[in-house]
């Protein structure tokens, strides 16, 4: 680390105001604060300083996504070799998937961070930390065969119109990663739906359909409970393995970065809606979704990933303690409702979370108003 510090100190005079490369000051600052905690201090008042800042918190989230990323890379290779009926070992499957997923990560970070650095430099600000998480989320929630140019367009649109026009990180009203997926889903549906997109270079004889697609078509998911938990089936890169996602959730909760109230209420809302819909299964025997056990809804598709990494975004989630319970519960409820009752959107998690992002300020408003009324009532009784 001392070597890196010396290199950065050597470069610093050239990127400061008046230096030869001052146009790259924001980029330099982003790299500097990536490796080292900023040494800024307050000029007035009493404050406690520690070694934890926003970048450190964001890196915890990225680290929590690593298990899902590594499993997703292996699963991409495993699905490919399975489709062409070739037996491959663990390393061969992982290496194949690594080569397929890496370009998506590079494009996501390259385009997103490039835009953020340009905006920061034009405003004379530091580079915001938020895209460190979004840049990793985006590759994990898209099909492996998504063309890179489409990913680049969607990322650029989401960063500019989903974040920067509102003022950057901390000011966005929706999750940029989910906005990217929404843009891909509605603008380029052929790249986000169908059987072929979920497996890289699959054989034509292999269906490659996701469990949700099978259920939408009126068939059984074709997965055992163990297969649902492990996640070795077609789907978005980081969304299939419940085990990998659970490890990420444990990291977030142990470090205090993730909010357990939102996570718990999201899964509770999904389970309750699943149970309610199960009650109507006898009236609609042709709908396989209605008969799907509620607990299976929590394991397949993007539900678990959305409940751990998406709806818990601290910027777009509810801020009040009671509001967090309501926000998460309604998110899970709506996700399963859309998934089951709207065949056009077999995966309702994306739409449900985006919908709740919009309404989280309203939830907080009514929670605060309710608290004010309760305190006013207590004050009157005391008098």
pTM: 0.86
Delimit the domains of the chain by residue range: 2-35, 54-370
Q: In the chain, which stretches have pLDDT less than 50?
A: none
What pLDDT score was predicted for residue 377?
83
CA–CA distances in Å: residue 291 to residues 50, 66, 261, 347: 52, 34, 28, 17
What pLDDT score was predicted for residue 243?
96
DSSP result, 303-361:
HHHIIIIITT-TTTS--SHHHHHHHHHHHHHHHHHHHHH-TT-S--HHHHHHHHHHHHH
What pLDDT score was predicted for residue 43?
61
pLDDT in tens, 301-325: 899 999 999 999 888 999 999 999 9
How many CB atoms are located within 10 Å of the residue 168 CB?
20
User: Rounded to an integer, what distance in angstroms lies between the CA atom of residue 378 and that of residue 29?
Assistant: 51
What pLDDT score was predicted for residue 211?
82
Q: Are 183 and 157 in contact (CB under 8 A)?
A: yes
CATH number of the 54-370 domain: 1.10.3430
């Amino acid at each position: 680390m001392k070597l890196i510090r010396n290199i950065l100190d050597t470069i610093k005079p050239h990127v400061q105001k008046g230096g030869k490369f001052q146009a790259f000051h924001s980029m330099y600052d982003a790299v500097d604060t990536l490796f080292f905690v900023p040494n800024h201090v307050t000029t007035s008042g009493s404050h406690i300083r520690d070694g934890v800042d926003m970048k450190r918190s964001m890196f915890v989230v990225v680290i929590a996504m690593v298990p899902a990323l590594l499993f997703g890379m292996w699963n991409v290779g495993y699905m490919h070799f399975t489709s062409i009926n070739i037996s491959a070992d663990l390393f061969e499957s992982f290496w194949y998937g690594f080569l397929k997923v890496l370009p998506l990560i590079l494009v996501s970070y390259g385009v997103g961070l490039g835009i953020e650095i340009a905006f920061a430099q034009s405003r004379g600000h530091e580079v915001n930390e938020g895209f460190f998480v979004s840049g990793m989320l985006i590759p994990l929630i898209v099909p492996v065969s998504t063309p890179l140019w489409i990913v680049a367009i969607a990322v650029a649109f989401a960063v500019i119109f989903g974040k920067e026009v509102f003022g950057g990180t901390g000011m966005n009203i929706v999750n940029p990663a989910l906005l990217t997926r929404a843009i891909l889903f509605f603008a380029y549906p052929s790249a986000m739906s169908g059987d072929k997109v979920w497996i890289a270079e699959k054989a034509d004889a292999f269906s490659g359909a996701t469990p949700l697609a099978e259920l939408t078509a009126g068939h059984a998911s074709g997965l055992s409970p163990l297969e649902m938990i492990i996640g070795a089936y077609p789907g978005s890169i980081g969304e299939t393995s419940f085990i990998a996602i659970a490890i990420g959730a444990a990291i977030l909760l142990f470090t205090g970065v993730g909010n357990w109230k939102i996570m718990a209420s999201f899964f509770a809302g999904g389970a309750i809606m699943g149970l309610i819909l199960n009650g109507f299964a006898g009236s609609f025997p042709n709908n396989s979704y209605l008969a799907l056990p509620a607990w299976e809804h929590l394991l397949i598709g993007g539900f678990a990933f959305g409940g751990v990494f998406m709806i818990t975004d601290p910027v777009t989630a509810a801020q009040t303690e009671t509001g967090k319970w309501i926000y998460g519960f309604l998110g899970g409820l709506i996700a399963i409702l859309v998934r089951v009752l709207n065949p056009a959107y077999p995966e309702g998690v994306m739409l449900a979370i985006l919908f709740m992002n919009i309404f989280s300020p309203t939830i907080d408003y009514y929670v605060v108003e309710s608290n004010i009324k309760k305190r006013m009532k207590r004050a009157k009784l005391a008098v």
